[in-house]
Amino acid sequence: MATQGFAVYETPIGHCGIAWDEHAVIGSQLPEGGEERTRARIARRFPDAVEQEPPEHVRRAVDAVRALLRGEDSPELAHVPLDFGRVPPFHARVYEVALAIPVGRTMTYGEIAAQLGDPGSARAVGQALGSNPFAPIVPCHRILAAGGKKGGFSAHGGTRTKLEILAIEGVHVEEPTLFDL
């Protein structure tokens, strides 16, 4: 079995986590409501990983996530080696499309489904993004519901976290008012 490691690191929105093997990132974690909670979650997700200093390919990913969450464009995130062998093939295809969405832009679940050649699969796209093991490297926060509505978000803090990251990227999602209901 490959040697696995993990690290927890500070960002402008809280402590994120990352796990890797010698070849690729095997998981990434948005803040869980505190450093220890993030550490516990990433350790639970990757029980064979040992907390340690990340190797160079992972340090570059950490630096890119920090830059992204400071509001800087981080195109190098699209080049982070990710281990898609641990996810279903459909999910991997969804994540590849999401990786191509530039900072400050969004797509809808339906647009991703159409790009995959399966326009009826918007719900399956949402399920794939809901189990994204690489957030925020795979930017599931950039995927909106039909009509540009915020949609759901399964990370700690829910849609509040999604809207916070989008705002950092310069995207402001209109919230419905009583007049829109």
Residue 115: count of CB within 10 angstroms of its CB = 15
Torsion 173-176-180-181 (CA) sign = positive
Report the helix count and the strand count for the chain, using DSSP H and E. 6, 6
Cβ distance 55 to 46 under 8 Å? Answer: no
Q: Is 140 a catalytic residue?
A: yes
d(Cα 177, Cα 63) in Å, to the nearest integer?
38
Which residue is catalytic, options 69, 140, 144, 163? 140
Supply the residues annotated as catalytic. Answer: 140
